[in-house]
Amino acid sequence: MPLRLACVLLVISVLLVPAPAAASAPGWSWPLERHEVSGPFDPPADRYAAGHRGIDLSGVVGDRVRAVAPGRVTFAGRVGGVPVVTIDHGGERSTYQPVAARVEVGDAVTARQVIGTLQGEHSHCPGACLHLGRRIGEDYLDPLDLLGAGRFVLVSPDGAPPPPPAGAGGRLTRPVGGPVTSPFGMRVHPLTGVRKLHDGTDFAVPCGTPVRAAAGGTVTAAGSAGAYGRRITIRHGQDLETSYAHLSVVSVPVGAPVTAGEVIGRSGTTGLSTGCHLHFMVREGGALTDPMSSL
């Protein structure tokens, strides 16, 4: 066999080997046992425009549908005749349709708890499928960002190069998954009772969850920081700085260069904290800003 043909066959055989299933991100777990995405996220240009405000997961009528994360049921009924379940995860909501609910409004649910069964009626897929949505306020977001998917994209060798990944060109990536439990802004502190600025965004994740750098940069602080507990600060150029607080483990020293997505520590509940979470802060030009506007 010619050497060139043998090499081509070897490459094809490697590409056809199934990749191991990707582990779910710390925030969300898959709501169905099968993980086949039959309809990708395609956000509308505005809130009234056409688009696909979630993802479709192929399934079979009667499949058990599970909660993607802990939360509380805020809706279990019909919208336009379609059976829908909505769960609030502390500022972030997941929606499931068409699903016959096994839960009621006000029920607290755990991650992977069965919340209903997949229905065949009102499916917009050729076969049965679960439409999974994700929202923060009025904004629709891609559920795959929290499901451990979408990390690799196949690109053609022809044509223009793809856009840079999140975290490049000044954009930041989420340091952890998980729902937002306390956004940036004024609030009454849950421990002190004092109304003051909450200077970052809290992501609810279990203690020990890997915390990743939101962008490449240099570590400027790493260690105990009073009420913030163990904290890491990274400078990304002259005007941008991120901080990661209440850590249980600090894995990088001061002065260390880090790349976007590199594990820099583990989440915890050190300092003045009510439970396991990551407090993520962003400064631009020395001023505190809402981290969600940079993610």
Average pLDDT estimate for 27-48: 75
Q: Which residue has the tokens 């710390």?
A: 26
Domains and CATH numbers, the chain: 37-146 (2.70.70.10), 180-293 (2.70.70.10)
Q: How far apart are CA 59 and CA 271, in angstroms?
A: 45
Average pLDDT estimate for 77-90: 91
Average pLDDT estimate for 124-144: 82
pLDDT tens for 236-251 read 988 899 999 999 999 9
**Is the pLDDT score of 16 beyond 60?**
no
Containing H/E element for 14?
helix 3-16
**Is the pLDDT score of 55 beyond 50?**
yes
The DSSP string of 77-110 is EEETTEEEEEEE-SSEEEEEESEEESS-TT-EE-
Give backbone dihedrals phi and psi of 15, rounded to 5 degrees, phi first: -65, -25
**pLDDT top residue among 50 and 230:** 230
pLDDT tens for 157-196 read 555 554 444 333 447 889 998 888 888 887 666 666 667 6
User: pTM of the entire structure?
Assistant: 0.46
Q: How far apart are CA 156 and CA 148, in angstroms?
A: 23
- Which tokens is 20 given? 């191991």
Share of the chain above pLDDT 70, in %: 75
pLDDT band at 156 (very low <50, low <70, confident <90, very high): very low
| Residues whose CB is less than 8 angstroms from the CB of residue 164 and which lie 6 or more positions away in sequence, other chains included | none
Q: What is the pLDDT of residue 122?
A: 63
Q: How far apart are CA 204 and CA 267, in angstroms?
A: 10
- Which tokens is 12 given? 């094809």
* Across 20-29, 82-91, 173-182, 193-202, least confident range: 20-29
Burial of 4 (0-12, 13-18, 19+ CB in 10 A): exposed
The chain-wide mean pLDDT, for the chain, equals 80
Q: What is the pLDDT of residue 198?
A: 85
